[in-house]
Amino acid sequence: MSSTRFPTTAAVVIVYAVAMAFLESAVVVYLQRALGIDPRGLFPVRDPALTGDLALIEVGREAATLVMLGAVGWLAGRSGLERLAWTAVAFGTWDILYYAWLWVFIGWPPSLATWDLLFLIPVPWAGPAWAPVAVSVALVGFGLVAAARLRAGHPVRAGRAQVAAGIGGGAIVVLAFCWNATLLLDGGVPTDFPWPVFAAGMALAAWGAITALRPPAG
């Protein structure tokens, strides 16, 4: 795939992610029906897939999802940076369409303000649906721009400042998602999302991406 033109590669990666989101959301619906889980009652956490014998399987499923998205990014790219860009596109598309398919199938989430249990590695992540969607929109946008520039032979200036901003901003965003981890593990119900922390992380990471993708002067 790495030898094909940018539009073709973009279409294949996006179609793959859309199909993967359909499959995973369908599996989630089946599991909820089989285990008697109400998606409107995620908190306090009582899901046997998260608290019982299935917890390790659930963590493994999440890890497998990341491997699958990373694999398509690796196959699509020609270099390390381009592979990272395509992985970002695949992950962001998958995440957005995962919510979209769930809404089509079961009407959930009813709004982007609905809280969701996002991830379990290494602790529970939680936040309103708009927050992971915002991250995913940024990943798709910046990923496509980066992949297009690299495929066209133009440089992406990923210097120390840009790498530090990307890693630091991402870590701050993860911190915002894990803000209520202790509360969740204690059986509590999250109500407050630290959006200023989230916004700071997004802004820092966006600065790194924008400066890395900015065309050289002259």
What are the tens digits of pLDDT across the range 13-30? 999 999 999 999 998 888
More confident residue, 166 or 32: 166
pLDDT, position 158: 85
More confident residue, 200 or 123: 200
- Domain tally, the chain: 1
Can you tell me the distance from the alpha carbon of 8 to that of 177, in angstroms, rounded to the nearest whole number?
Answer: 34
User: Is residue 84 included in any domain, yes or no?
Assistant: yes
The boundaries of the domain holding residue 99 are: 6-213
**Tokens standing for residue 8:** 């073709």
* Each residue's pLDDT tens digit, 124-154: 899 999 999 999 999 999 999 999 999 999 9
Query: Is there a domain that residue 101 lies in?
Result: yes
Global pTM? 0.90
pLDDT band at 72; cut points 50, 70, 90: very high
Residue 45 has pLDDT above 80, yes or no: no
Establish if 85 belongs to a structural domain.
Answer: yes
pLDDT of residue 120: 80
Question: Residue 2: pLDDT band by 50, 70, 90 thresholds?
Answer: low
Looking at the chain, the whole-number percentage of residues with pLDDT higher than 70 is 90
Q: Which of 107, 127, 124, 131 is nearest to 40 (CA)?
A: 107
**Does the residue 218 lie in any domain?**
no
Residue 61 is assigned to a structural domain of this protein: yes
C-alpha 78/C-alpha 104 separation (Å) is 36
Residue 1 lies in a domain: no
pLDDT value at 49 more than 60: no
Question: What is the structure's pLDDT at 119?
Answer: 86
> Is 132 in contact with 198 (CB distance < 8 Å)?
no
pLDDT of residue 28: 86
- Amino acid 26: pLDDT: 93
Position 206 in a domain:
yes
